[in-house]
Amino acid sequence: MTDPTNSTPTSATQSTPARAVPALWMLVLITLAGTLAMHIFVPSLPIAGEALHANNAQMQLTISLYILGLALGQLFYGPLSDALGRRPALMLGMLIYSVAGIVAWQAQSVETLITARFFQAFGGCAGLALGRAMIRDTAAPDRAVQRLAVLNLVVAIGPALAPLAGSLLTTTLGWRSVLLALCLMGIGNLLFVWRLMPETTQATGRINLPGLAYEYRTLIRSPAFIGYAIGGGCATTAMFAFVASAPFIFVEQLGKPASHVAYYLSLLILSISLGNFITNRATHRVGLVRLMLSASLLSLAGGISMLVVVFAGWASVVTLEASMLLFTLGVGMTGPTALTLAVSINPKVVGSAAGLYGFAQMGIGALCTALAGLGDNPAQAAAMVLATAAIIGQIALRTALRFDRQAK
């Protein structure tokens, strides 16, 4: 399979001076800004909803529209950074993130908060998208794999660790302290990029819209790529529906303390990490295709079991967590395999494929989160979303394999 890190010509890598290589800790921080903000506000949803006189569906829009902002940003910052340079594009993103963070912190209505969160995500996506691009600009393929692995870990674990931080801030300093912390992180990152971040690419001075449109059109016309993108999104980011619903499920429906929600969600990290570990160990022995299909079946089993548990009246912390641990084990295995197969469809458009895949992935996550906010029973809504997404994911992945000649 083609490695996306090989898309950077060796000569370009060799011609980049050592001083132009950004520190890994800075790349981690700018990536974390976008992913941490996704779910750090989850423990605050019920309290903030009461303060702003908003219902559950409205408060969940602060999560789903944030994810939508991350999705749209995937398509925006790549071409912009090619034209202006990585550093200016990154500074613009951090500026948007910081200003939107101030507006969110001071929001007096749920509508203002929802809008600010969307723009906060759109700005924060710059770090998520350009951190990986800067590694591809400056690192040789073998070194790039190691550095990308660190950023991928941040992308996977950041949203899961976020509720712990959000719960701590909410219980000690109030729900607005969460938004203030994000604002300060954005300002800090803006200063870091301004003072310390080197430029890693030669700006072209223009955006090649015709070329970009051609690449996206080629990918959209590929049933294999679309199948992997939809299937990968349904098998991975659909879990956001449960994460956003967790405070309402555990606190309002099951009567558990709000401080416990973050710990329930943090357990999902272990399952995702285990899935990643199994993938790294088993890929060469089992093969990408078989591993991906087996993993997606685990997510399907988790989604169906949660649906049965909820509608049979057996919902409890233990039964819901067990279903989600099974679902997220599949997430940890399906995510990297589906992405690898998707970007291998056409080695000539790896960058566009990665961006479009990320857009589809986050878009599906936003849709699932919004759907989970419908109705007056959060547990039922989340279970139906997860089960439906898992079924659609199965169909999409198997459809992709039928059209992907390289995966035969």
Whether residue 276 is predicted with pLDDT greater than 60 in this model: the reply is yes
Concatenating the DSSP letter of every residue in 95-146 gives HHHHHHHHHHHT--SHHHHHHHHHHHHHHHHHHHHHHHHHHHHHS-HHHHHH
Whole-number pLDDT of residue 18: 46
Whether residue 144 is predicted with pLDDT greater than 70 in this model: the reply is no
Mean of pLDDT values over 321-344: 87
Whole-number pLDDT of residue 146: 57
Instruction: Give the type of residue at 361.
Output: Q
Residue 259 neighbours by CB under 8 Å, 6+ apart: 167, 171
Q: Determine what percent of the chain is predicted with pLDDT higher than 90.
A: 34
Domains of the chain: 1-203 (1.20.1250.20), 208-408 (1.20.1250.20)
Whether residue 11 is predicted with pLDDT greater than 70 in this model: the reply is no
Whole-number pLDDT of residue 154: 67
Range name among 181-190, 225-234, 249-258, 334-343 with the lowest pLDDT average: 334-343
Whether residue 150 is predicted with pLDDT greater than 70 in this model: the reply is no
Backbone angles phi, psi at 41, to 5 degrees: -85, -5
| Beta strand spans in 110-167 (E) | none
CA dist 303 and 318 (Å) reads 15
pLDDT bucket at 355, cuts 50 / 70 / 90: confident
Whether residue 98 is predicted with pLDDT greater than 90 in this model: the reply is yes
Mean of pLDDT values over 328-334: 87
Length of the chain: 408
Closest CA to 182 of 77, 354, 30, 33: 33
pLDDT bucket at 5, cuts 50 / 70 / 90: very low
Structure tokens at 204: 């072209």
Whole-number pLDDT of residue 128: 80
**Per-residue b or e along 192-213, where b marks 16 or more CB atoms closer than 10 Å to that residue's CB:** bbeeebbbbbeeeeeeeeeebe
CA dist 48 and 52 (Å) reads 6
pLDDT bucket at 149, cuts 50 / 70 / 90: low
Whether residue 33 is predicted with pLDDT greater than 60 in this model: the reply is yes
pLDDT bucket at 317, cuts 50 / 70 / 90: very high
Whether residue 222 is predicted with pLDDT greater than 50 in this model: the reply is yes
pLDDT bucket at 203, cuts 50 / 70 / 90: confident
Q: State the greatest distance between any 2 C-alpha atoms of the chain, in Å, as a whole number.
A: 63
Instruction: Name the 3-class secondary structure at 346.
Output: coil
Whole-number pLDDT of residue 408: 58
Enter the DSSP assignment of 197: P
Structure tokens at 207: 């955006």
Instruction: Name the 3-class secondary structure at 206.
Output: coil
CA dist 162 and 154 (Å) reads 11
Quote the mean pLDDT of the chain: 83
Provide Rg for the chain, Cα atoms: 20
Closest CA to 336 of 295, 391, 387: 295
Whole-number pLDDT of residue 133: 74
CA dist 37 and 16 (Å) reads 33
Structure tokens at 408: 């035969």
Range name among 12-21, 97-106, 219-228 with the lowest pLDDT average: 12-21
Closest CA to 125 of 156, 163, 150, 92: 92
CA dist 111 and 93 (Å) reads 22
